[in-house]
Structure 1
Amino acid sequence: MASDVRTSRGQLSPQARFLLMALPGALFVVTFLILPMVSILVFSFWRTESYNLIPDWNLQNYFTIFSTPTYLTFLLRSVLTAVAVSLFALIYSWPIAYFMAKHGGRYRLLLSLAVAAPFFTGVILRISGIQGIMGPVGLINMGLMNFGIPPVEILMYTQTASGIGIAYLFIPFMVTAIYLSLLNFDFELLEVAKINGARAWRAFIEITLPLNWIGTVIGLILVFVPALGDSITSRFLGGPNAASFGQVLSMQFGESGTWALGSAMGIVLFAASSLVIYLMWRTVNLRRSGFTGMEG
Protein backbone atom coordinates (compact mmCIF):
# COMPACT_ATOMS: atom_id res chain seq x y z
CA MET A 1 0.00 0.00 0.00
CA ALA A 2 1.38 3.44 -0.95
CA SER A 3 2.42 5.82 1.80
CA ASP A 4 0.53 9.04 2.45
CA VAL A 5 3.77 10.98 2.04
CA ARG A 6 5.43 9.15 -0.86
CA THR A 7 3.96 7.57 -3.97
CA SER A 8 4.71 4.03 -5.14
CA ARG A 9 7.69 5.39 -7.09
CA GLY A 10 9.24 6.93 -4.01
CA GLN A 11 8.31 10.49 -4.97
CA LEU A 12 6.59 12.95 -2.66
CA SER A 13 2.83 13.01 -2.99
CA PRO A 14 1.11 16.20 -4.20
CA GLN A 15 -0.15 16.84 -0.68
CA ALA A 16 3.36 16.57 0.77
CA ARG A 17 4.80 18.88 -1.93
CA PHE A 18 2.08 21.40 -1.23
CA LEU A 19 2.82 21.33 2.50
CA LEU A 20 6.55 21.78 1.89
CA MET A 21 5.92 24.72 -0.41
CA ALA A 22 3.45 26.32 2.02
CA LEU A 23 5.62 25.79 5.11
CA PRO A 24 7.98 28.81 4.66
CA GLY A 25 5.07 31.18 4.08
CA ALA A 26 3.14 29.71 7.02
CA LEU A 27 6.14 30.11 9.33
CA PHE A 28 6.59 33.70 8.19
CA VAL A 29 2.92 34.55 8.85
CA VAL A 30 2.94 32.88 12.26
CA THR A 31 6.23 34.47 13.33
CA PHE A 32 5.75 38.01 12.05
CA LEU A 33 1.95 38.43 12.08
CA ILE A 34 0.08 36.08 14.36
CA LEU A 35 2.53 36.00 17.29
CA PRO A 36 2.99 39.81 17.36
CA MET A 37 -0.78 40.32 17.21
CA VAL A 38 -1.32 37.84 20.04
CA SER A 39 1.31 39.61 22.15
CA ILE A 40 -0.27 43.00 21.44
CA LEU A 41 -3.67 41.60 22.42
CA VAL A 42 -2.26 40.26 25.71
CA PHE A 43 -0.42 43.51 26.49
CA SER A 44 -3.61 45.49 25.93
CA PHE A 45 -5.07 43.94 29.09
CA TRP A 46 -2.01 44.76 31.19
CA ARG A 47 -0.86 48.07 32.59
CA THR A 48 2.31 50.11 32.29
CA GLU A 49 4.20 51.50 35.25
CA SER A 50 7.53 53.32 34.92
CA TYR A 51 8.00 52.00 31.37
CA ASN A 52 7.45 48.42 32.56
CA LEU A 53 4.62 46.13 31.50
CA ILE A 54 2.84 44.65 34.52
CA PRO A 55 0.55 41.62 33.96
CA ASP A 56 -2.38 43.10 35.84
CA TRP A 57 -5.35 41.88 33.78
CA ASN A 58 -8.00 44.57 33.37
CA LEU A 59 -9.99 46.59 30.82
CA GLN A 60 -8.73 49.97 31.95
CA ASN A 61 -6.86 50.70 28.71
CA TYR A 62 -9.99 50.20 26.60
CA PHE A 63 -12.03 52.22 29.09
CA THR A 64 -9.49 55.04 28.76
CA ILE A 65 -9.73 55.03 24.96
CA PHE A 66 -13.52 55.03 24.74
CA SER A 67 -14.16 57.37 27.66
CA THR A 68 -11.61 60.05 26.76
CA PRO A 69 -12.97 62.59 24.25
CA THR A 70 -9.47 63.31 22.94
CA TYR A 71 -8.84 59.71 21.91
CA LEU A 72 -12.31 59.45 20.36
CA THR A 73 -11.63 62.64 18.40
CA PHE A 74 -8.36 61.22 17.09
CA LEU A 75 -10.08 57.95 16.13
CA LEU A 76 -12.99 59.67 14.37
CA ARG A 77 -10.60 62.00 12.56
CA SER A 78 -8.54 59.06 11.31
CA VAL A 79 -11.61 57.13 10.16
CA LEU A 80 -13.07 60.11 8.29
CA THR A 81 -9.70 60.91 6.72
CA ALA A 82 -9.25 57.29 5.60
CA VAL A 83 -12.77 57.26 4.09
CA ALA A 84 -12.23 60.57 2.28
CA VAL A 85 -8.81 59.52 0.97
CA SER A 86 -10.17 56.14 -0.20
CA LEU A 87 -13.04 57.76 -2.11
CA PHE A 88 -10.73 60.34 -3.66
CA ALA A 89 -8.25 57.64 -4.63
CA LEU A 90 -11.07 55.59 -6.17
CA ILE A 91 -12.29 58.46 -8.36
CA TYR A 92 -8.76 59.51 -9.28
CA SER A 93 -7.39 56.03 -10.00
CA TRP A 94 -10.11 54.53 -12.20
CA PRO A 95 -9.42 56.73 -15.28
CA ILE A 96 -5.69 56.11 -14.96
CA ALA A 97 -6.03 52.35 -14.63
CA TYR A 98 -8.62 52.24 -17.43
CA PHE A 99 -6.35 54.15 -19.80
CA MET A 100 -3.39 51.93 -18.96
CA ALA A 101 -5.36 48.71 -19.55
CA LYS A 102 -7.20 49.75 -22.70
CA HIS A 103 -4.83 52.13 -24.46
CA GLY A 104 -1.47 51.28 -22.91
CA GLY A 105 -0.57 48.74 -25.58
CA ARG A 106 3.14 48.01 -25.68
CA TYR A 107 3.75 50.82 -23.18
CA ARG A 108 1.87 49.08 -20.38
CA LEU A 109 5.08 48.06 -18.64
CA LEU A 110 6.45 51.60 -18.77
CA LEU A 111 3.18 53.00 -17.47
CA SER A 112 3.19 50.46 -14.64
CA LEU A 113 6.73 51.47 -13.73
CA ALA A 114 5.67 55.12 -13.78
CA VAL A 115 2.89 54.34 -11.30
CA ALA A 116 5.38 52.46 -9.10
CA ALA A 117 8.05 55.19 -9.38
CA PRO A 118 7.21 56.81 -6.00
CA PHE A 119 8.12 53.53 -4.29
CA PHE A 120 11.70 53.90 -5.51
CA THR A 121 12.26 56.37 -2.66
CA GLY A 122 11.48 56.28 1.06
CA VAL A 123 8.32 57.61 2.65
CA ILE A 124 10.13 60.42 4.47
CA LEU A 125 11.70 61.65 1.24
CA ARG A 126 8.33 61.64 -0.52
CA ILE A 127 6.68 63.59 2.30
CA SER A 128 9.58 66.04 2.29
CA GLY A 129 8.96 66.53 -1.41
CA ILE A 130 5.34 67.41 -0.69
CA GLN A 131 6.53 69.92 1.91
CA GLY A 132 8.70 71.49 -0.76
CA ILE A 133 5.64 71.94 -2.95
CA MET A 134 2.91 72.89 -0.45
CA GLY A 135 4.94 74.43 2.37
CA PRO A 136 4.84 78.09 3.45
CA VAL A 137 7.88 78.71 1.22
CA GLY A 138 7.05 75.90 -1.20
CA LEU A 139 6.73 76.14 -4.95
CA ILE A 140 2.99 76.87 -4.94
CA ASN A 141 3.04 79.67 -2.38
CA MET A 142 6.25 81.18 -3.77
CA GLY A 143 4.63 81.27 -7.21
CA LEU A 144 1.53 82.95 -5.79
CA MET A 145 3.60 85.54 -3.91
CA ASN A 146 5.46 86.42 -7.10
CA PHE A 147 2.10 87.54 -8.49
CA GLY A 148 1.21 89.45 -5.34
CA ILE A 149 -1.20 86.78 -4.08
CA PRO A 150 -1.00 85.88 -0.38
CA PRO A 151 0.08 82.31 0.44
CA VAL A 152 -2.58 79.63 0.81
CA GLU A 153 -2.47 78.55 4.44
CA ILE A 154 -4.65 75.46 3.92
CA LEU A 155 -1.85 73.81 1.95
CA MET A 156 0.33 73.12 4.98
CA TYR A 157 -0.05 71.98 8.60
CA THR A 158 -3.78 71.30 8.23
CA GLN A 159 -6.01 68.27 7.98
CA THR A 160 -6.35 68.97 4.25
CA ALA A 161 -2.58 68.85 3.78
CA SER A 162 -2.43 65.59 5.71
CA GLY A 163 -5.19 64.10 3.52
CA ILE A 164 -3.40 65.17 0.35
CA GLY A 165 -0.18 63.58 1.58
CA ILE A 166 -1.88 60.29 2.50
CA ALA A 167 -3.63 60.16 -0.89
CA TYR A 168 -0.32 60.77 -2.63
CA LEU A 169 1.32 57.92 -0.74
CA PHE A 170 -1.35 55.27 -1.35
CA ILE A 171 -3.00 56.10 -4.70
CA PRO A 172 -0.50 53.83 -6.54
CA PHE A 173 -1.97 50.86 -4.63
CA MET A 174 -5.44 51.69 -5.91
CA VAL A 175 -4.27 52.21 -9.49
CA THR A 176 -2.39 48.91 -9.49
CA ALA A 177 -5.28 46.90 -8.05
CA ILE A 178 -7.80 48.26 -10.57
CA TYR A 179 -5.33 47.93 -13.46
CA LEU A 180 -4.64 44.27 -12.69
CA SER A 181 -8.36 43.51 -12.62
CA LEU A 182 -8.83 45.26 -15.98
CA LEU A 183 -6.11 43.19 -17.67
CA ASN A 184 -8.54 40.26 -18.08
CA PHE A 185 -11.54 42.45 -18.90
CA ASP A 186 -13.07 42.07 -22.37
CA PHE A 187 -13.47 45.63 -23.63
CA GLU A 188 -15.54 44.33 -26.56
CA LEU A 189 -18.42 44.12 -24.11
CA LEU A 190 -18.49 47.92 -24.06
CA GLU A 191 -18.75 48.04 -27.84
CA VAL A 192 -21.69 45.66 -27.68
CA ALA A 193 -23.35 47.86 -25.07
CA LYS A 194 -22.73 50.92 -27.25
CA ILE A 195 -24.31 49.21 -30.26
CA ASN A 196 -27.34 48.45 -28.13
CA GLY A 197 -27.73 52.12 -27.23
CA ALA A 198 -26.05 52.28 -23.82
CA ARG A 199 -24.21 55.49 -23.05
CA ALA A 200 -20.63 55.39 -21.82
CA TRP A 201 -21.53 56.11 -18.18
CA ARG A 202 -24.23 53.43 -18.16
CA ALA A 203 -21.86 50.85 -19.68
CA PHE A 204 -19.34 51.68 -16.96
CA ILE A 205 -21.88 51.39 -14.13
CA GLU A 206 -23.54 48.21 -15.38
CA ILE A 207 -20.65 46.35 -17.04
CA THR A 208 -17.14 47.64 -16.35
CA LEU A 209 -17.46 48.36 -12.64
CA PRO A 210 -19.36 45.18 -11.62
CA LEU A 211 -17.01 42.90 -13.56
CA ASN A 212 -13.99 44.58 -11.97
CA TRP A 213 -15.48 45.22 -8.55
CA ILE A 214 -13.17 42.74 -6.81
CA GLY A 215 -10.13 44.75 -7.97
CA THR A 216 -11.82 47.94 -6.81
CA VAL A 217 -12.53 46.46 -3.37
CA ILE A 218 -8.92 45.29 -3.05
CA GLY A 219 -7.77 48.79 -3.98
CA LEU A 220 -10.08 50.38 -1.41
CA ILE A 221 -8.76 48.06 1.28
CA LEU A 222 -5.13 48.70 0.31
CA VAL A 223 -5.75 52.43 0.68
CA PHE A 224 -8.12 52.53 3.65
CA VAL A 225 -6.15 50.28 6.03
CA PRO A 226 -2.77 52.09 5.82
CA ALA A 227 -4.51 55.49 5.70
CA LEU A 228 -6.37 54.64 8.92
CA GLY A 229 -3.16 53.80 10.76
CA ASP A 230 -0.97 56.48 9.20
CA SER A 231 1.24 58.33 11.67
CA ILE A 232 4.08 59.83 9.64
CA THR A 233 2.09 61.99 7.22
CA SER A 234 0.00 63.68 9.90
CA ARG A 235 3.15 64.45 11.89
CA PHE A 236 4.98 66.10 8.99
CA LEU A 237 2.10 67.69 7.09
CA GLY A 238 -0.84 67.91 9.49
CA GLY A 239 0.69 69.68 12.45
CA PRO A 240 -0.68 69.64 16.00
CA ASN A 241 -4.25 70.37 14.91
CA ALA A 242 -4.42 67.32 12.66
CA ALA A 243 -2.93 64.63 14.89
CA SER A 244 -4.16 61.17 13.95
CA PHE A 245 -4.99 58.12 16.03
CA GLY A 246 -1.97 56.34 14.55
CA GLN A 247 0.31 59.21 15.49
CA VAL A 248 -0.89 59.17 19.10
CA LEU A 249 -0.55 55.38 19.09
CA SER A 250 3.09 55.61 18.01
CA MET A 251 3.75 58.02 20.86
CA GLN A 252 2.63 55.38 23.37
CA PHE A 253 5.49 53.14 22.22
CA GLY A 254 7.93 56.03 22.07
CA GLU A 255 7.82 59.24 24.07
CA SER A 256 5.32 58.23 26.76
CA GLY A 257 6.32 54.56 27.01
CA THR A 258 2.77 53.41 27.83
CA TRP A 259 2.94 50.16 25.89
CA ALA A 260 -0.22 48.70 27.39
CA LEU A 261 -2.36 51.64 26.28
CA GLY A 262 -0.64 51.65 22.90
CA SER A 263 -1.40 47.95 22.50
CA ALA A 264 -5.08 48.60 23.22
CA MET A 265 -5.10 51.39 20.65
CA GLY A 266 -3.51 49.01 18.14
CA ILE A 267 -6.23 46.42 18.78
CA VAL A 268 -8.89 49.10 18.24
CA LEU A 269 -7.31 50.00 14.89
CA PHE A 270 -7.05 46.34 13.94
CA ALA A 271 -10.71 45.76 14.82
CA ALA A 272 -11.79 48.81 12.80
CA SER A 273 -9.75 47.67 9.79
CA SER A 274 -11.08 44.11 10.05
CA LEU A 275 -14.66 45.38 10.17
CA VAL A 276 -14.17 47.48 7.05
CA ILE A 277 -12.49 44.59 5.22
CA TYR A 278 -15.38 42.30 6.14
CA LEU A 279 -18.04 44.80 5.03
CA MET A 280 -16.24 45.49 1.76
CA TRP A 281 -15.73 41.80 1.02
CA ARG A 282 -19.44 41.19 1.60
CA THR A 283 -20.11 43.34 -1.46
CA VAL A 284 -18.06 41.07 -3.72
CA ASN A 285 -19.91 38.61 -5.95
CA LEU A 286 -17.22 36.23 -7.20
CA ARG A 287 -19.34 34.75 -9.96
CA ARG A 288 -20.35 38.18 -11.25
CA SER A 289 -16.67 39.14 -11.21
CA GLY A 290 -15.92 36.19 -13.49
CA PHE A 291 -14.55 33.82 -10.85
CA THR A 292 -15.96 30.32 -11.25
CA GLY A 293 -13.74 28.51 -8.76
CA MET A 294 -11.27 25.70 -9.22
CA GLU A 295 -12.30 22.59 -10.99
CA GLY A 296 -11.74 19.35 -9.16
Structure 2
Amino acid sequence: MVSAIEIRDLHKAYAKGTKALDGVSLNIKQGEFFALLGLNGAGKTTLISILVGLVRASSGAVKIFGHDVADDPYMAKRLIGVVPQELNINVFNTVREVMFNHGGFYGLSKVDINQRYEVVLDDLGLLHKRDSMVKELSGGMKRRVLLARALMIEPKVLILDEPTAGVDVDLRQDVWDLLEKINKKGTTILLTTHYMEEAEYLCDSLAILHDGKIIDQGHKDDLLLSDQSRHLVLHLQSEIDTLYEQDYIQAVAKDSKTIELTLQPGADLAAYLQKIESSGKKIGYVSSPKSRLEQYFRSQTT
Protein backbone atom coordinates (compact mmCIF):
# COMPACT_ATOMS: atom_id res chain seq x y z
CA MET A 1 0.00 0.00 0.00
CA VAL A 2 1.28 3.47 -0.91
CA SER A 3 2.02 5.66 2.12
CA ALA A 4 -0.08 8.78 2.66
CA ILE A 5 3.08 10.80 3.35
CA GLU A 6 6.58 9.55 2.56
CA ILE A 7 9.55 11.74 3.49
CA ARG A 8 13.05 10.52 2.65
CA ASP A 9 16.30 12.13 3.80
CA LEU A 10 14.89 15.65 3.65
CA HIS A 11 17.30 18.56 3.96
CA LYS A 12 16.64 22.28 3.93
CA ALA A 13 19.32 24.95 4.33
CA TYR A 14 18.63 28.65 3.89
CA ALA A 15 20.83 31.22 2.15
CA LYS A 16 22.74 32.20 5.30
CA GLY A 17 23.61 28.57 6.00
CA THR A 18 20.96 27.86 8.64
CA LYS A 19 19.93 24.18 8.57
CA ALA A 20 16.19 23.95 9.15
CA LEU A 21 15.97 20.24 8.31
CA ASP A 22 18.84 17.79 8.50
CA GLY A 23 18.01 14.37 7.07
CA VAL A 24 14.35 13.97 8.10
CA SER A 25 12.67 10.69 7.13
CA LEU A 26 9.08 9.80 8.02
CA ASN A 27 6.50 7.34 6.76
CA ILE A 28 2.86 8.10 7.60
CA LYS A 29 0.38 5.38 6.70
CA GLN A 30 -2.97 5.91 5.03
CA GLY A 31 -5.65 6.67 7.60
CA GLU A 32 -3.16 7.39 10.38
CA PHE A 33 -3.54 10.24 12.89
CA PHE A 34 0.05 11.40 13.32
CA ALA A 35 1.51 14.07 15.61
CA LEU A 36 4.67 16.02 14.87
CA LEU A 37 6.03 17.51 18.09
CA GLY A 38 8.89 19.89 18.70
CA LEU A 39 9.91 23.13 20.35
CA ASN A 40 9.74 26.46 18.51
CA GLY A 41 12.47 26.51 15.87
CA ALA A 42 12.65 22.71 15.63
CA GLY A 43 11.77 22.78 11.92
CA LYS A 44 8.06 21.92 12.01
CA THR A 45 6.96 24.94 9.96
CA THR A 46 9.64 24.34 7.34
CA LEU A 47 8.61 20.70 7.04
CA ILE A 48 4.94 21.58 6.61
CA SER A 49 5.82 24.32 4.10
CA ILE A 50 7.70 21.76 1.99
CA LEU A 51 4.80 19.30 2.21
CA VAL A 52 2.35 21.86 0.82
CA GLY A 53 4.71 23.21 -1.81
CA LEU A 54 5.44 26.63 -0.31
CA VAL A 55 9.15 25.90 0.23
CA ARG A 56 11.46 23.82 -1.93
CA ALA A 57 13.73 21.30 -0.20
CA SER A 58 17.50 21.49 -0.65
CA SER A 59 17.56 17.73 -1.16
CA GLY A 60 15.53 14.63 -0.39
CA ALA A 61 12.06 13.60 -1.49
CA VAL A 62 8.48 14.10 -0.28
CA LYS A 63 5.56 12.16 -1.74
CA ILE A 64 1.83 12.49 -1.05
CA PHE A 65 0.12 9.21 -1.97
CA GLY A 66 2.99 8.53 -4.35
CA HIS A 67 2.98 11.99 -5.98
CA ASP A 68 6.26 13.85 -5.57
CA VAL A 69 5.62 17.40 -4.33
CA ALA A 70 8.47 18.74 -6.49
CA ASP A 71 7.91 16.75 -9.71
CA ASP A 72 4.11 16.45 -9.59
CA PRO A 73 3.02 19.44 -7.48
CA TYR A 74 -0.51 19.79 -8.87
CA MET A 75 -1.60 16.27 -7.92
CA ALA A 76 0.22 16.40 -4.58
CA LYS A 77 -1.37 19.71 -3.57
CA ARG A 78 -4.81 18.56 -4.72
CA LEU A 79 -4.73 15.81 -2.08
CA ILE A 80 -3.88 18.12 0.85
CA GLY A 81 -6.05 20.34 3.04
CA VAL A 82 -4.18 22.72 5.36
CA VAL A 83 -5.25 24.49 8.54
CA PRO A 84 -2.47 27.02 9.26
CA GLN A 85 -1.68 28.47 12.64
CA GLU A 86 -2.07 32.04 11.41
CA LEU A 87 -5.25 33.47 9.90
CA ASN A 88 -4.63 33.80 6.14
CA ILE A 89 -8.11 34.68 4.94
CA ASN A 90 -9.39 37.92 3.44
CA VAL A 91 -11.28 39.19 6.48
CA PHE A 92 -13.57 41.29 4.28
CA ASN A 93 -14.97 38.17 2.59
CA THR A 94 -18.04 36.46 3.94
CA VAL A 95 -17.71 32.86 5.12
CA ARG A 96 -19.65 31.78 2.01
CA GLU A 97 -17.20 33.68 -0.22
CA VAL A 98 -14.25 32.03 1.50
CA MET A 99 -15.69 28.60 0.72
CA PHE A 100 -16.52 29.45 -2.91
CA ASN A 101 -13.15 31.08 -3.57
CA HIS A 102 -11.25 28.12 -2.13
CA GLY A 103 -13.36 25.56 -3.96
CA GLY A 104 -12.95 27.46 -7.22
CA PHE A 105 -9.20 27.65 -6.73
CA TYR A 106 -9.12 23.85 -6.58
CA GLY A 107 -11.26 23.51 -9.69
CA LEU A 108 -14.60 22.63 -8.10
CA SER A 109 -17.69 23.64 -10.04
CA LYS A 110 -20.31 25.94 -8.50
CA VAL A 111 -22.64 22.94 -8.36
CA ASP A 112 -20.09 20.91 -6.38
CA ILE A 113 -19.39 23.82 -4.05
CA ASN A 114 -23.10 24.38 -3.42
CA GLN A 115 -23.50 20.71 -2.57
CA ARG A 116 -20.58 20.68 -0.13
CA TYR A 117 -20.13 23.98 1.63
CA GLU A 118 -23.31 24.05 3.72
CA VAL A 119 -22.68 20.51 4.99
CA VAL A 120 -19.13 21.44 6.02
CA LEU A 121 -20.25 24.67 7.70
CA ASP A 122 -23.06 22.87 9.52
CA ASP A 123 -20.65 20.23 10.87
CA LEU A 124 -18.53 23.05 12.34
CA GLY A 125 -21.42 25.12 13.71
CA LEU A 126 -20.83 27.87 11.14
CA LEU A 127 -23.88 27.62 8.92
CA HIS A 128 -25.62 30.54 10.63
CA LYS A 129 -22.52 32.65 9.97
CA ARG A 130 -22.28 31.95 6.23
CA ASP A 131 -23.21 35.55 5.29
CA SER A 132 -21.04 37.17 7.98
CA MET A 133 -17.71 38.75 7.08
CA VAL A 134 -14.71 36.98 8.61
CA LYS A 135 -13.66 40.17 10.41
CA GLU A 136 -16.93 40.07 12.38
CA LEU A 137 -16.24 36.60 13.80
CA SER A 138 -14.67 35.70 17.12
CA GLY A 139 -11.20 34.17 17.24
CA GLY A 140 -12.66 30.69 17.72
CA MET A 141 -15.05 31.13 14.82
CA LYS A 142 -12.18 32.21 12.57
CA ARG A 143 -10.33 29.00 13.48
CA ARG A 144 -13.43 27.06 12.44
CA VAL A 145 -13.48 28.84 9.08
CA LEU A 146 -9.87 27.76 8.47
CA LEU A 147 -10.83 24.15 9.16
CA ALA A 148 -13.99 24.41 7.03
CA ARG A 149 -11.99 25.81 4.14
CA ALA A 150 -9.52 22.91 4.32
CA LEU A 151 -12.33 20.32 4.41
CA MET A 152 -14.10 21.92 1.46
CA ILE A 153 -11.95 20.03 -1.05
CA GLU A 154 -12.41 16.67 0.74
CA PRO A 155 -8.65 16.15 1.16
CA LYS A 156 -7.05 12.73 1.56
CA VAL A 157 -4.44 14.33 3.86
CA LEU A 158 -5.34 17.02 6.41
CA ILE A 159 -2.46 19.02 7.89
CA LEU A 160 -3.21 20.85 11.13
CA ASP A 161 -0.78 23.40 12.53
CA GLU A 162 -1.80 24.11 16.15
CA PRO A 163 -5.53 23.73 15.30
CA THR A 164 -6.84 24.57 18.79
CA ALA A 165 -4.52 27.48 19.60
CA GLY A 166 -6.64 30.28 21.08
CA VAL A 167 -9.81 28.18 20.90
CA ASP A 168 -12.26 28.16 23.80
CA VAL A 169 -12.83 25.04 25.90
CA ASP A 170 -16.09 23.87 24.35
CA LEU A 171 -14.84 24.38 20.81
CA ARG A 172 -11.57 22.57 21.56
CA GLN A 173 -13.47 19.42 22.50
CA ASP A 174 -15.80 19.90 19.51
CA VAL A 175 -12.79 20.16 17.20
CA TRP A 176 -11.28 17.01 18.75
CA ASP A 177 -14.55 15.12 18.19
CA LEU A 178 -14.82 16.33 14.60
CA LEU A 179 -11.21 15.42 13.81
CA GLU A 180 -11.76 11.92 15.18
CA LYS A 181 -14.79 11.51 12.91
CA ILE A 182 -12.84 12.78 9.89
CA ASN A 183 -10.00 10.39 10.65
CA LYS A 184 -12.35 7.43 11.10
CA LYS A 185 -13.72 8.09 7.61
CA GLY A 186 -10.23 7.47 6.25
CA THR A 187 -8.61 10.89 6.10
CA THR A 188 -4.94 10.87 7.08
CA ILE A 189 -4.19 13.66 9.58
CA LEU A 190 -0.85 15.25 10.43
CA LEU A 191 -1.04 17.39 13.57
CA THR A 192 1.39 19.81 15.18
CA THR A 193 0.49 20.91 18.69
CA HIS A 194 2.08 22.11 21.93
CA TYR A 195 -0.63 20.37 23.98
CA MET A 196 0.75 16.94 24.90
CA GLU A 197 -2.73 16.02 26.12
CA GLU A 198 -4.06 16.76 22.63
CA ALA A 199 -1.49 14.55 20.94
CA GLU A 200 -2.05 11.75 23.44
CA TYR A 201 -5.84 11.97 23.07
CA LEU A 202 -6.00 12.13 19.27
CA CYS A 203 -2.97 10.52 17.70
CA ASP A 204 -1.91 6.98 16.90
CA SER A 205 1.75 7.67 16.28
CA LEU A 206 4.11 10.60 16.67
CA ALA A 207 7.58 11.90 16.00
CA ILE A 208 9.73 14.39 17.91
CA LEU A 209 11.59 16.92 15.76
CA HIS A 210 14.53 18.75 17.30
CA ASP A 211 17.10 20.98 15.58
CA GLY A 212 15.91 19.72 12.21
CA LYS A 213 16.26 16.02 13.07
CA ILE A 214 13.82 13.30 14.12
CA ILE A 215 15.12 12.19 17.50
CA ASP A 216 12.31 9.78 18.39
CA GLN A 217 9.23 8.32 16.74
CA GLY A 218 6.79 5.48 17.19
CA HIS A 219 3.34 4.53 18.45
CA LYS A 220 2.08 6.71 21.27
CA ASP A 221 1.66 3.71 23.59
CA ASP A 222 5.40 3.17 23.34
CA LEU A 223 6.29 6.84 23.88
CA LEU A 224 3.68 7.81 26.46
CA LEU A 225 2.94 6.03 29.72
CA SER A 226 -0.84 6.03 29.67
CA ASP A 227 -1.11 5.07 33.34
CA GLN A 228 0.56 8.40 34.19
CA SER A 229 -1.72 10.49 31.97
CA ARG A 230 -3.66 12.00 34.89
CA HIS A 231 -0.51 13.26 36.59
CA LEU A 232 0.57 16.13 34.41
CA VAL A 233 3.12 18.92 34.26
CA LEU A 234 2.04 22.34 32.98
CA HIS A 235 4.81 24.55 31.59
CA LEU A 236 4.08 28.26 31.16
CA GLN A 237 5.97 30.78 29.07
CA SER A 238 5.55 33.46 31.75
CA GLU A 239 5.96 33.38 35.51
CA ILE A 240 3.20 32.19 37.80
CA ASP A 241 1.52 34.70 40.07
CA THR A 242 -1.58 32.66 40.97
CA LEU A 243 -2.27 28.97 41.45
CA TYR A 244 -5.71 28.49 39.95
CA GLU A 245 -8.15 26.22 41.74
CA GLN A 246 -10.72 23.93 40.17
CA ASP A 247 -12.74 20.92 41.32
CA TYR A 248 -10.93 17.59 40.99
CA ILE A 249 -7.62 19.28 40.12
CA GLN A 250 -4.77 19.73 42.59
CA ALA A 251 -2.10 22.21 41.52
CA VAL A 252 1.36 22.55 43.06
CA ALA A 253 3.97 25.07 41.85
CA LYS A 254 7.26 23.31 41.13
CA ASP A 255 9.08 26.49 40.10
CA SER A 256 8.19 29.93 38.76
CA LYS A 257 6.97 28.58 35.40
CA THR A 258 5.97 25.00 36.15
CA ILE A 259 2.85 23.56 37.81
CA GLU A 260 2.37 19.92 38.72
CA LEU A 261 -1.25 18.81 38.32
CA THR A 262 -3.06 15.84 39.81
CA LEU A 263 -6.38 15.15 38.07
CA GLN A 264 -9.08 13.11 39.78
CA PRO A 265 -12.00 11.44 37.92
CA GLY A 266 -14.33 14.19 36.69
CA ALA A 267 -11.57 16.76 36.23
CA ASP A 268 -11.97 19.11 33.26
CA LEU A 269 -8.42 19.82 32.11
CA ALA A 270 -9.51 21.85 29.08
CA ALA A 271 -11.51 24.23 31.28
CA TYR A 272 -8.55 24.61 33.63
CA LEU A 273 -6.20 25.45 30.75
CA GLN A 274 -8.71 27.92 29.34
CA LYS A 275 -8.91 29.66 32.72
CA ILE A 276 -5.15 30.14 32.70
CA GLU A 277 -5.09 31.34 29.09
CA SER A 278 -7.93 33.78 29.78
CA SER A 279 -5.82 35.37 32.52
CA GLY A 280 -3.18 36.27 29.94
CA LYS A 281 -0.70 33.49 30.71
CA LYS A 282 0.69 31.64 27.69
CA ILE A 283 0.93 27.85 28.00
CA GLY A 284 4.06 26.28 26.60
CA TYR A 285 2.98 22.65 26.74
CA VAL A 286 1.31 20.04 28.92
CA SER A 287 2.86 16.62 29.40
CA SER A 288 3.01 13.49 31.51
CA PRO A 289 5.86 13.62 34.07
CA LYS A 290 7.11 10.07 33.48
CA SER A 291 6.69 9.83 29.72
CA ARG A 292 9.60 9.82 27.31
CA LEU A 293 8.16 12.99 25.81
CA GLU A 294 8.32 14.78 29.14
CA GLN A 295 11.87 13.59 29.71
CA TYR A 296 12.86 14.92 26.30
CA PHE A 297 11.17 18.31 26.68
CA ARG A 298 12.55 18.73 30.18
CA SER A 299 16.08 18.07 28.90
CA GLN A 300 15.67 20.73 26.23
CA THR A 301 14.07 23.46 28.35
CA THR A 302 15.94 23.34 31.68
Shorter-chain TM-score tier: under 0.3
Select the structure of larger CA radius of gyration.
1
TM-score by length of 1: 0.24
Which structure is higher in strand share?
Answer: 2
Q: Which has the higher helix share?
A: 1
